Amino acid sequence: MYKLLKYSLYDIVKSRFALLYTLFLVLVAISIYQVSEDMGKVSLSLLNIMLMIVPLIAAVFASTHFFNNLEFTELMLAQPVKRRDVFLSQFLAVAFVLSMALIVGFGVPMLIWGADVTILTLLGIGIGLSVIFAGLAFLASVMTRDKAKAIGISLSFWIYFSLVYDGFVLYLIYSLADYPLEKTTLGLVFLNPVDLGRIIMLMQLDISALMGYTGAFFQNFFGSFQGILISSGVLLLWMLWPSYFALRVFRKKDF
């Protein structure tokens, strides 16, 4: 598996995607640091950009990489190599490159302009979202042999979690405004990794007072040790289950 992982990493680096993605993140971070010296505002601006860009890039790149290496994958499957090793080498390479691009892209400006604990939380959320949407993209890719269809499904995941889901939650809250919805809203947050990352970050920025009673409820939950443990566990589950089911489909798939 180590040799397969090494080849996959080399193939991604050779495509120059990692370099371009890293440079893009560096330019975004530098431009935001140039605009404001307030670390809270910098964190919030980076969060807003990251929640839209990082899942999109992860979803599209993971799907594209899977199909670009499909011939190599079929060749490896014809050899005495475990299917699990072939799949994990491809997925781990993509997840590693996306994570390192984010760390370097945001980390370099942090070393120059300074950073606080909220920036570290931001990096953790970004890495988590990269792994989650890469897993969802791999799941979409192993379920079909059509590259365009797989990319379309991956983009559908991104549109749903980044745009559509929030509209559904807002409609539900507006329709049931006369009822206590704090716990229900908390449960709905756990069903969307993008919202979960957003809420965790907003609680770190200590702006819950702007969210009224619901914000105070979230602050009490996500600010406690139990809340941090539960939210971290849910985010970890989101990172694991797409790749797990993608691996199960990959093992049974007839190439």
Nearest to 185 by CA among 159, 221, 155, 158: 221
Dihedral sign (CA 3, 107, 156, 20): negative
Number of domains in the chain: 2
Angle at 146 between CA 59 and CA 236, to 5 degrees: 30
Average pLDDT over residues 11-37: 86
Q: What is the pLDDT of residue 255?
A: 62
Contacts of range 11-17, beta carbons closer than 8 Å, 24 or more positions apart: 11/69, 11/93, 12/65, 12/93, 12/94, 12/97, 13/97, 17/61, 17/97
Domain of 176 in residue numbering reads as 160-245
Note whether residue 219 is domain-resident: yes
- Stated length of the chain: 255
126 with 176, same domain: the answer is: no
Quick: pLDDT tens for 233-250.
899 999 999 999 999 999
Q: What is the pLDDT of residue 38?
A: 72
Domain boundary among 150, 172, 199: 150
Per the prediction, the chain carries an average pLDDT of 83
Q: What is the pLDDT of residue 115?
A: 67
180 with 143, same domain: the answer is: no
Residue 152 has pLDDT above 80, yes or no: yes
Dihedral sign (CA 145, 146, 147, 153): negative
Q: What is the pLDDT of residue 238?
A: 94
Rounded distance between C-alpha atoms, residue 12 and residue 69, angstroms: 10
pLDDT tier at 223 (50, 70, 90 boundaries)?
Answer: low
Nearest to 103 by CA among 18, 34, 202: 18
Average pLDDT over residues 76-105: 90
Higher pLDDT: 120 or 95? It is 95
193 with 117, same domain: the answer is: no
206 with 118, same domain: the answer is: no
Quick: pLDDT tens for 165-205.
888 877 777 777 666 666 777 788 889 999 888 888 777 76
Rounded distance between C-alpha atoms, residue 78 and residue 124, angstroms: 38
Residue 70 has pLDDT above 90, yes or no: no
Q: What is the pLDDT of residue 210?
A: 45
Note whether residue 233 is domain-resident: yes
Quick: pLDDT tens for 124-151.
899 999 999 999 999 999 998 888 899 9
Note whether residue 254 is domain-resident: no
Q: What is the pLDDT of residue 80?
A: 82
Higher pLDDT: 221 or 5? It is 5
109 with 197, same domain: the answer is: no
Q: What percent of the chain has pLDDT over 90?
A: 33
Note whether residue 250 is domain-resident: no
Note whether residue 235 is domain-resident: yes
Rounded distance between C-alpha atoms, residue 142 and residue 150, angstroms: 8
Q: What is the pLDDT of residue 212?
A: 47
